[in-house]
């Protein structure tokens, strides 16, 4: 009788283990090493965190489909007590990290073997599969916890996935700390060897992120610890371009004083610092770039766009006047044959167009599309813009008439 009960229990145990195995495969998509592990150690007595913990500890590597000939081993019980004990310490470890309990975490770490500690430092929290201990400490703002984990061997460059501009990127702990504006956390990470130029797999460096956030203390910390001020992202966007675009004049001054290239273009050749400043309406940044750092007011992008054109497109009369006063060529054309006046008209910036006409901009310049500024004015369907060119034409006619009258007395004489 006992034999029959034992056999039935064995069958139930084996069936339950098999169901667990298939559950892991179907619900979690576990493959390769993890899949094979589950085949060997998916005891009914083992919780999912325990299995994952043991899997990481054992570093088992087996062929994905090797479970078939191992059916007899599927129901083999996990090592007695070992898994449950480690699972409990795993739970405590992450609990102390989350709670910022430095003393209790230190005591727990001291009780672990080297292999167990290494496993816990690398593994993700079983309750959140995208958060490892150091990342949790950073996100919680637990600087002392982060320092302790790093002191005990946490990988300062272990990456996690974050969505940036609707794209998933693998980012470093330093990147996360910068993103959260945690200055002291950044200090701790750098002190433990964080690469200040390593941020994400798209080359979005910590310095670029700090510039985008406008965090002057973190920008200063990164640069003083060797961050490359002329290192851009995968598209060639530079730290200087970011702060010029945003009008962060103190950061512009700081980066320039630490070697930022004032005329550096992005990879497309479509943007550079002064063009960003002019097209975004940042007059004080334009003054700084031109007056103090001799930025070329006539620098052109690959499509021929100049800072003056950028200011006209934006409708910034003050920047337009400033650039012209500092030598911007008023009739310089882009690759389409458009000058600054034509861009002002096309973008319906009446006051800018009026000023350009008043100082002698060429209203007869022809683009490669065969259009002149007055043609663009008619297309705008704006009465004030059309009147601007009608008034200009009338003035020209009066000037021509006066000139002819002046010539007649001379001919009679």
Which pair of tokens denotes residue 199? 């941020």
Distances, alpha carbon 24 to alpha carbons 18, 38, 46, 87, in Å:
10, 8, 13, 18
Q: List, as one string, the DSSP characters of 180-193.
A: TT-HHHHHHHHHTT
Residue 189 placed within a domain:
no
State the Cα–Cα distance between residues 36 and 25, nearest whole angstrom.
10
The enclosing domain of 286 has a CATH number of: 1.25.40.20
7-16, 286-295, 340-349, 386-395, range with the lowest pLDDT = 7-16
Q: Are residues 396 and 343 in the same domain?
A: yes
Q: Are residues 344 and 399 in the same domain?
A: yes
Q: Is the pLDDT of residue 46 over 50?
A: no
pLDDT digit string, tens, across residues 318-347: 999 999 999 999 999 999 999 999 999 999
Residue 261 placed within a domain:
yes
Q: Is the pLDDT of residue 115 over 70?
A: yes
Boundary residue ending a domain (80, 102, 121): 80
381 CB-side CA count, 13 A: 0
Mean pLDDT of 187-210: 94
Distances, alpha carbon 199 to alpha carbons 194, 202, 219, 322, in Å:
10, 8, 14, 38
The answer for residues whose C-beta is within 8 angstroms of residue 327's C-beta and 6 or more apart is 297, 298
Boundary residue ending a domain (29, 62, 80): 80
Torsion of CA 116, 121, 123, 124, to 10 degrees: 140
What is the rounded average pLDDT for all residues in the chain?
A: 83
Boundary residue ending a domain (80, 98, 114): 80
Q: Which residue has the higher pLDDT, 39 or 372?
A: 372
Which residues are 163's β-sheet partners? 168
Q: Which residue has the higher pLDDT, 181 or 65?
A: 181
Q: Are residues 65 and 20 in the same domain?
A: yes
3-state secondary structure of 207: helix
Q: Residue 406 — very low, low, confident or very high, per pLDDT cuts 50/70/90?
A: low
- Residue 186: what pLDDT? 99
Q: Residue 56 — very low, low, confident or very high, per pLDDT cuts 50/70/90?
A: very low
State how far Cα 241 lies from the chain centre: 14
What φ, ψ does residue 171 adopt, rounded to 5°? Answer: -120, 155
Mean pLDDT of 45-50: 41
pLDDT digit string, tens, across residues 376-397: 999 999 999 999 998 765 555 5
- Residue 63: what pLDDT? 35
The answer for residues whose C-beta is within 8 angstroms of residue 383's C-beta and 6 or more apart is none
Q: Is the pLDDT of residue 62 over 60?
A: no
Residue 87 placed within a domain:
no
Mean pLDDT of 122-149: 94
Catalogue the E-assigned strands of 118-180: 124-125, 128-132, 160-164, 167-171
Q: Which residue has the higher pLDDT, 413 or 75?
A: 413
Residue 271 placed within a domain:
yes
How would you classify residue 211: left for phi > 0, otherwise alpha for psi between -120 and 50, otherwise beta?
Answer: alpha
Residue 393 placed within a domain:
yes
Residue 281 placed within a domain:
yes
Q: Are residues 292 and 343 in the same domain?
A: no
What is the extent of the structural domain holding 339? 324-405
Q: Which residue has the higher pLDDT, 169 or 57?
A: 169
Number of domains in the chain: 3
Helices (H), 359-382: 373-380
Q: Residue 110 — very low, low, confident or very high, per pLDDT cuts 50/70/90?
A: very high
Q: Are residues 330 and 286 in the same domain?
A: no
The answer for residues whose C-beta is within 8 angstroms of residue 270's C-beta and 6 or more apart is 301, 302, 303, 305
- Give the percent of the chain with pLDDT over 70: 74
Q: Is the pLDDT of residue 288 over 50?
A: yes
Q: Is the pLDDT of residue 10 over 90?
A: no
Q: Residue 74 — very low, low, confident or very high, per pLDDT cuts 50/70/90?
A: very low
Q: Residue 55 — very low, low, confident or very high, per pLDDT cuts 50/70/90?
A: very low
State the Cα–Cα distance between residues 256 and 275, nearest whole angstrom.
16
Which pair of tokens denotes residue 405? 């009258």
Q: Residue 108 — very low, low, confident or very high, per pLDDT cuts 50/70/90?
A: very high
- Residue 413: what pLDDT? 46
Residue 155 placed within a domain:
no
Q: Which residue has the higher pLDDT, 384 or 48?
A: 384
Q: Is the pLDDT of residue 49 over 60?
A: no
What φ, ψ does residue 262 adopt, rounded to 5°? Answer: -70, -25
Mean pLDDT of 187-213: 95
Residue 58 placed within a domain:
yes
Q: Are residues 330 and 378 in the same domain?
A: yes
Which pair of tokens denotes residue 235? 């598209």
- Residue 48: what pLDDT? 45
């Amino acid at each position: 009788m006992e034999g029959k009960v034992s056999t039935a229990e064995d069958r139930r145990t084996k069936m339950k283990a098999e169901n667990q195995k298939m559950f892991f495969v179907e619900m979690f998509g576990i493959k390769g090493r993890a899949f094979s592990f589950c085949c060997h150690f998916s005891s009914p007595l083992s919780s999912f965190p325990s299995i994952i913990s043991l899997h990481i500890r054992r570093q088992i590597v087996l062929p994905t489909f090797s479970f078939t000939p191992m059916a007899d081993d599927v129901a083999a019980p996990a090592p007695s007590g070992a898994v449950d004990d480690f699972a409990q310490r795993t739970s405590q470890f992450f609990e102390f990290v989350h709670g910022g309990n430095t003393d209790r975490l230190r005591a727990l770490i001291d009780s672990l073997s080297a292999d167990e500690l290494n496993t816990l430092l690398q593994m993700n929290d079983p309750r959140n599969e995208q958060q490892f201990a150091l990342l949790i400490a950073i996100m919680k703002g637990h600087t002392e916890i982060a320092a302790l984990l790093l002191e005990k061997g946490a990988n300062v460059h272990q990456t996690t996935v974050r969505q940036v501009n609707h794209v998933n990127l693998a980012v470093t702990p330093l990147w996360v700390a910068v993103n959260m504006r945690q200055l002291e956390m950044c200090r701790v990470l750098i002190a433990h060897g964080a690469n200040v130029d390593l941020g994400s797999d798209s080359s979005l460096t910590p310095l670029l992120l700090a510039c985008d956030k406008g965090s002057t203390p973190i920008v200063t910390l990164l640069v003083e610890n060797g961050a490359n001020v002329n290192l851009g992202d995968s598209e060639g966007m530079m730290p200087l371009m970011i702060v010029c675009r945003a009008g962060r004049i103190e950061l512009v001054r700081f980066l320039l004083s630490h070697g930022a290239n004032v005329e550096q273009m992005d990879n497309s050749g479509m943007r550079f610092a002064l063009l960003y400043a002019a097209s975004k309406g940042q007059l004080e940044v334009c003054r700084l770039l031109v007056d103090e750092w001799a930025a070329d007011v006539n620098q052109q992008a690959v499509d021929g766009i100049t800072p003056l054109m950028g200011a006209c497109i934006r409708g910034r009369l003050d920047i337009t006047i400033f650039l012209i006063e500092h030598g911007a060529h008023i009739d310089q054309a882009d690759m389409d044959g458009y000058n600054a006046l034509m861009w002002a008209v096309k973008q319906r910036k009446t006051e800018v167009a009026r000023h350009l006409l008043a100082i002698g901009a060429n209203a007869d310049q022809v683009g490669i599309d065969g259009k002149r500024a007055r043609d663009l004015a008619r297309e705008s369907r704006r009465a004030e813009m059309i009147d601007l060119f009608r008034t200009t034409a009338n003035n020209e006619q009066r000037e021509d008439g006066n000139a002819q009258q002046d010539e007649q007395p001379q001919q009679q004489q």
